[in-house]
Amino acid sequence: MSTSSQVSNNKLHRILLTGAAGGLGKVLRERLRPYAEILRLSDIAALARSEGAHEETVPCDLSDKAAVHALVEGCDAIVHLGGVSVERPFEEILEANIKGVFHIYEAARRHGVKRVVFASSNHVIGFYKQDERLDAGVARRPDGYYGLSKSFGEDVAQFYFDRYGIETVSIRIGSSFPEPLNRRMMSTWLSYRDLTALIEKSLFTPDVKHTVVYGMSANRDVWWDNSAAAHLGFVPQDTSEVFRDKVEAQPPVAPTDPNAIYQGGAFTAQGPFGDQ
């Protein structure tokens, strides 16, 4: 990417981080600091106050089109983490994720933002079985309303590239937590260090068009093949292996448990909501 707002090879003037009050947002608030002169932090939830000239906080509900347009103005790239991050009733997902991602791209178009990093999810392919190996081109099999919203987000990203040339890296994040919490996450775990490196590559690699990449560390038993995203040059440094003894000390999972069958684990069995 080459824009007048690019300060140096790996630094932009202003990056917008949505979902900045969330689990990953709090981590990235610190870790993205080297990559922007100013990080614009946004969330619907309360944010810790900005600490200096390198940060600004802008509260925003992603379902509010006008507010999102104001939020995006003046930004050089967007790291879009904001939204509902678990399976929930469709109406909640519709507002935060589906309308939210549309508003982000429309605002990007209107304000000339040329690069988006979209926090997609493994739940766009959650109904594949754990013995299947997937590349980025495989047909999506969302495992719920949440997965459907991320699948829509990937389609929006492709459309805005094809129509307007806005480039996106859609990261199908596996499980990004301090450590893997269960056996399934031994395959899906993405360390915070590797997540940060992947976002850096996603922001600064030239000519990504719309790239889909699986967000996973260098785990032993992986389900996903990232060869189609090799141009990002992402080489994970961490592995879930260091947590194996701890995770395998947990009670065994029944072979009939969705956590042992599907890539999306328990998400495949949540809902429907509102039938009671």
Catalytic residue positions? 146
Give yes or no for a contact between 59 and 44, defined as CB atoms under 8 angstroms apart: yes
Residue 41 near ligand NAI by CB under 6 A: no
Q: Using the rule CB under 6 A, which residue among 7, 45, 48, 86 binds ligand 15L?
A: 86
Window 226 to 255, contacts with ligand 15L (CB under 6 A) = none
Q: Map residues 120-149 to x or -, x wherever contact with ligand NAI holds by CB under 6 A.
A: -x----------------------------
Tell me the C-alpha to C-alpha distance, in Å, between residue 190 and each of 69, 70, 194, 220: 31, 32, 6, 12
151 part of the interface to ligand 15L, by CB under 6 A: no
**In terms of CB distance, is 42 or 122 closer to ligand 15L?**
122
- Least CB distance to ligand 15L at residue 240 (A): 12
Alpha-carbon distance of 194 to 8, in angstroms, equals 22
**Residues facing residue 96 across a β-bridge:** none
Cα 109–Cα 209–Cα 9 angle in degrees, nearest 5: 90
Residues 6+ apart with CB under 8 A from 242: none
Cβ proximity to ligand 15L: between 88 and 201 the closer is: 88
Contacted entry of ligand 15L, ligand NAI, none for residue 63, CB cut-off 5 to 8 Å set by kind: ligand NAI
Residue located via tokens 């969302």: 142
Q: Closest by alpha carbon to 24, among 187, 191, 146, 183?
A: 191
Q: Specify the pairing of strand 134-135 against strand 167-173.
A: unpaired
5 vs 28 by CB, closer to ligand NAI: 28
**CB distance 18 to 108 below 8 Å:** no
Please state, as a whole number, how many other Cβ atoms lie within 10 Å of the Cβ of residue 31: 17
Distance of CA 130 to the CA centre of its chain: 21
Q: To the nearest whole angstrom, how small is the minimum distance from the Cβ of residue 59 to ligand NAI?
A: 8
121 binds ligand 15L (CB under 6 A): yes
According to the binding rule CB under 6 A, does residue 219 interact with ligand NAI? no
Binding region for ligand 15L (CB under 6 A): 85-86, 121-123, 175, 185, 188
Binding region for ligand NAI (CB under 6 A): 19, 21-25, 43-45, 60-63, 81-85, 95-96, 100, 119, 121, 173, 175-176
